[in-house]
Structure formats: structure tokens, C-alpha cells
Chain A
Amino acid sequence: MKAALFSPVPYQGPAPRGVWPVDTQGYSAEIAERSMQLSLEQFQLADEMGFDWVTVAEHHYAPMSLTPNPMIMAGALSQRVRRAKIALLGPDIPILNPVRVAEEFAMLDTLTGGRLVAGMLRGTSNEYVTYGLNPAESRERFEEALELILKAWSEPQPFGWVGRYYEFRAISIWPKPVQQPHPPIYVSASSPESGELAARNHLSVGFAFTTVPFAKNAVQHYREQAQKYGWTPEPDDVLYRLSIHVADSDEQAIDDMVSAGQAEARTAFSTSNRAVDDTAANLGYYGRDTATQRARHAAHDLTERLELGQLVAGSPEGVLSQIRGVREELGAGILELIFQPVGRDKVLHSLDLFGEKVLPGMREL
């Protein structure tokens, strides 16, 4: 089993929670700068420790993430992370210019000598407010943009595109990706529609902001659909993202989280603006399985998060055993980890324990 270190590059200072967009009244440039440096160091450390991937993502207008353009963070990482793949999970494709996305991904693949993992996501409902796009058109935009990006990567002659949502009269991107026929592409498969799209297009899938039971149903649907299209996903075609904290003992791990205020249920990013999420849901953003998709985002306390596989926490042995459980339930070949913000020293200790005592065991899974 492979390990990825994910960080949304959070702002490491006091800031409002549970609302969106978040005001910058108390914003400190100095804290933001420090936050970015900390994340860069964390990613570099993960690379040195033998993590297979480091992962960044796109989120807007909130302190939970300082990477509204994850391509820029990945550009910085390309100069620090020497061995691990650099994954973007992802840019929010439907709200971006797909030609620009194709260009930036190709740049990153070239800068890293072919170590890019090109995630392509729809983002959460609130992201559609950011650049003023209708969330109801999200899936159609996504599907068209995906096809256009693939074409922009592969077509050797200048061409134009007459789409439904995009029109370009001349496209001929420089550079092209290093990896051929194209860098690995990961998409979400939490909804039945996205699982079907992934299966139809032979794409890998990633599950985040979900639970093991939800992901189990979704991954089964994806595998069934892939069979229908005549192929079988490998373990590495399935990624699952969860939170992690490793301490010397199980009790210590829970204590660390409780004392850092990480034990209470917290409003998810996607539901931080109820009016926005309700409106998007009514417009059809969540598709034919709306109730399940919205239930994925329910807030859970520490105990529930452990039970649902949103979090693994404990001693190295305890954590490895929880990871084994996730692996068996989902057949996922890649586990993407968010180290819990429990204070700098404890996070570093957690990373050390993980690298020394958990990662070698994960390799055997």
C-alpha cells in the first residue's frame, strides 16, 4: 500500500470557522507566510521519509486552505520534493479555463520529470460562487473540459474546439506532459455519476470528505462499471483520504487530539454556507443520489470519525491495524493522510512514528 501526505496548507492562526466566505479582518500576512513555509517543510519531510506522494488541492476563500491555485504550490514543491510524486487533488476543473489547466499540468509534469498526478475534481458546491459559475452545469463542464485537456495534451497539430461550454479557435500547448499517453488522472467517484464517468474513461478514483461505509458502496459501483467497460481497476486506481494522528500509545493519541480541540464535531467546508449548498443541491449539483451525497458531509465527533474511518489515531500498532481495516474494506492501494494539527512538536512526532513504524507495515498490505 502506498502513502500520500495531503495538506490543504491551512492558515496557522486564529480565524472564523463554520462560515464561507471567511472574512480577512484578523488576517496576518506573517502567519500566512509561516503557514506556507510549514507546509512546504512538512511535504519535504514526507518526501525524505519515503512517502510515495505529496498532495495539494484547490479551495477558495477560507483559512482551511491557502492554496486557491494548487498549481503554484506544486511548482514550489517541484523544487523541494525530489522523489515523491506530486499530486493535485485537485484543481476544480469546471470553474477553470481547461486550456490553462492543460498547460499548467504539462509544466508541472515537465518540471518534475514526469512525477505529476493530475487529479481533476468538481470541488465543493461553494467553489462555484468563487468565479461565478452555475453549479448545475458542473458535470457537463467537467466532462467537456476533461476531453479538451486530454486533446490539448496529445494533439500535435494546432486545433480549435467548438464545445458547449468552451470555445477556442486555436490550441497548441507547449510544453506537453512527459508521461505518455498522459499523466495518471484521478477523479472523484463519490457519486454514482462520477464513478460511471471514471469507469467509462478508464480513470483512477479518489475518495475524500467521506466515510469508509460510503466509499465502500461507491468503490463497488466504480468497479462494477469498469467491468462493464471491459477493464479491472488495480489497487492503485483507488485512493482514500483520511485524517491521522500517531502517538506513543492509543491513549496519548486521543489525549493529544482532545487537548488540541480536535475532538468536537465540526461543520464541513462544503456546508459552511448553508444557503449556497442548499441552492446548489436544489439546482442538481449532487446528482441523482443527493441525499447520500449530502449525508457524506455530516459533522462527526472524534469517536464517530474513528468508527467511520474518517480518522485513524493511536499507537503505531493501533494505527496500522486501523489502516489494514480500511484496506480490506475498500481495496484501496493509496492512502492519503492529513496529519492532525495538534501542535508543531506532536505533529512532527506523529510523522516520525508514522515513517518509522507504520509506513514499513503499510508496504506489506
Chain B
Amino acid sequence: MNAADFREGFVEADGFRIRYREAGSGAPLVTLHGAGGMRISRSHDLLAEQHRVIVFEAPGFGESAVNERSASMKELALTMAEAATNVGLDRFSLMGNSFGGKLALWLAVQRPELLEALVLVAPAAIRPEGAQPVAPHERLGLMYAHPERQPAMLPPTPEVLAKQEALVQRLMGPPREEELEALMPGLNLPVLVLIGTRDRVIPAEMGRTYKEKLPNCQFMLVYDAAHALDADRPEAFAALVGDFLARHEAFVVKTESGLLYP
């Protein structure tokens, strides 16, 4: 399985025409991208070996029309929930990176009945107080601890970047959002939060707040990974997320044998 095997599709939701890419079969895993737009990394390929992976592009990102209609992350989250339903999913696991992590959390607290489990990857729902928003030209430098491991990718055009940036700035909200955080203690879903130890956008310490507020949360540090940790450490990332999706909080118990020789 590799990125080329992700086939493209479109689905209508809330009056938006939403692009998605899909690969694999098995239990469905829906993913929501970060502020930089849809990005399929090697970890998506690896996860698609066991799962039906559906990577959505939020309206207003990539080649889609300017999105001036979604009023908030809360509202956009409901649009994405409808998109998943319209693809034909009754229940699914949901994973969101950074901006998409906040979006995924908003989706989860509003429509928990749709979800099996939630994976938040360097989520932007809780950010350091007083942190300056990352300028688009800085973003790439902060994404990877290991840019040398990344496949060559065509960056989005300046027009696409400007459009995405305006949308992110409009929707992102404050570093701490009371309404969202007040809903977290009531979220009865298995949640996995992953942050890279070299993440300078969402520092690893942010993870502990999810652990404090969510009743069923696993917090994992991914060593030597920056903000795009799924791309920096794809094998480790996919193995961990795959195990969590299969076993939820029971994944803390090791089940592989340690036997060397019979």
C-alpha cells in the first residue's frame, strides 16, 4: 500500500462538495488534516493495511472553493460528521492532526455516538497561553524533525495557502476554549493523544491537560518527532495507533510474546 493507492472521491455534506481519499479495508478510520491541508504520509499507508482509511479534505482547503460559511470549528465539525455519514459510515474511529485534532475533538463531543475511538495527533485544542500563531512560511520548518525522511511533495500554491490560512485564522479560536473543555469530562470514548518530543508548535506538556480532562485518555510521547509526528516516525506511529484502534485502553498490556526460542 502506498499513497498512490489512495483513490479520490467526493461527498456532499451541508451543501459543501467535500473531497476525500480512501484506501484499505477493515474497520473504518476517518482522518482530519492540519492547518496545512490534506497530507497523506507513510503512516496512512501503513494504517490502510489494517483499516479502511478515509482522509477528508475540509471545505475551504486545497482546490475546494473558499469557505466563508462555516462559522466555527464547532460547526465545521458537524459538517465533517455529516460527510462521514454520507460516505456510508455508521460508526468509525476518528483521527485528527493539529487543527484537525481540535476539529476531531469538537466532532467527538457533539456526536460521540458516531465514534468508536478518537486519536488526537499533536492536537491544537489546547495550546500554550500567549503562543503566537505560526506564520505559514515558518510552518514547514516546524513540521518535521526529519525532513530527510519525507518524500518530495509539491507544496500548495500561494493562492491555496492564503485561502487556507485565512480560514484557519478565522476558525482556530483561542488557545483554551472553555466551551470545548467543559464538554471533555463527559466524553466517554477511548482517546489517544500523541505528541512528538520535538514538537515546537504543540509542546509535549500540552498532552497532560487532555489526560486531566478526559475520562478515558492515553497520552503518548513520540520520541524524536516534531509536529508532523506521523510523518517523522511513521512505523512507530502506525503500530501504536493500530494497536490502540484494535484494543483501546487495553493496549497498555503487551500481548506479543517475549519468548526467544521454544
Q: Which residues of A contact B (CB under 8 A)?
A: 144, 147-148, 151, 155-164, 166-167, 169-170
Closest to A166 in B: B223
Q: Which residues of B contact A (CB under 8 A)?
A: 194, 197, 204, 207-208, 211-212, 218-224, 233, 236-237, 240, 251-254
* Residue numbers in B under 8 Å from A162 (CB-CB): 194, 220-223, 233, 236-237, 240
Other than the given A164-B236, A169-B218, 17 more pairs (CB < 8 A) read: A144-B223, A147-B197, A147-B223, A151-B204, A157-B211, A158-B219, A161-B220, A161-B223, A162-B194, A162-B220, A162-B222, A162-B233, A162-B236, A163-B236, A167-B236, A169-B252, A169-B254
Closest to A148 in B: B223
**6 nearest CB pairs, A to B:** A157-B208, A160-B220, A169-B252, A157-B211, A163-B223, A159-B219
What's the nearest-Cβ distance from chain A to residue B202, in Å?
15
What's the nearest-Cβ distance from chain A to residue B183, in Å?
20
Contact call B207/A157, Cβ cutoff below 8 A: yes
Contact call A164/B223, Cβ cutoff below 8 A: yes
Q: How far is the CA of A357 from the CA of B105 in the complex (A)?
A: 69
* Residue numbers in B under 8 Å from A159 (CB-CB): 207-208, 211, 219-221
Closest to A140 in B: B224
Contact call B208/A160, Cβ cutoff below 8 A: no
Q: How far is the CA of A148 from the CA of B223 in the complex (A)?
A: 9
Closest to B252 in A: A169
What's the nearest-Cβ distance from chain B to residue A93, in Å?
15
Q: How far is the CA of A164 from the CA of B221 in the complex (A)?
A: 12
* Residue numbers in A under 8 Å from B221 (CB-CB): 151, 159-162
Which of B197, B223, B240, B252 has a CB less than 8 Å from the CB of A170? B252
28 contacts between A and B (CB under 8 A): A144-B223, A147-B223, A148-B223, A151-B197, A151-B221, A155-B208, A157-B212, A159-B211, A159-B219, A159-B220, A160-B220, A160-B221, A160-B252, A161-B220, A161-B223, A162-B220, A162-B222, A162-B236, A162-B237, A162-B240, A163-B223, A163-B224, A164-B223, A164-B224, A169-B220, A169-B253, A169-B254, A170-B218
* Residue numbers in A under 8 Å from B222 (CB-CB): 162
Which of A160, A163, A164 has a CB less than 8 Å from the CB of B219? A160
* Residue numbers in A under 8 Å from B251 (CB-CB): 169
Q: How far is the CA of A170 from the CA of B237 in the complex (A)?
A: 16
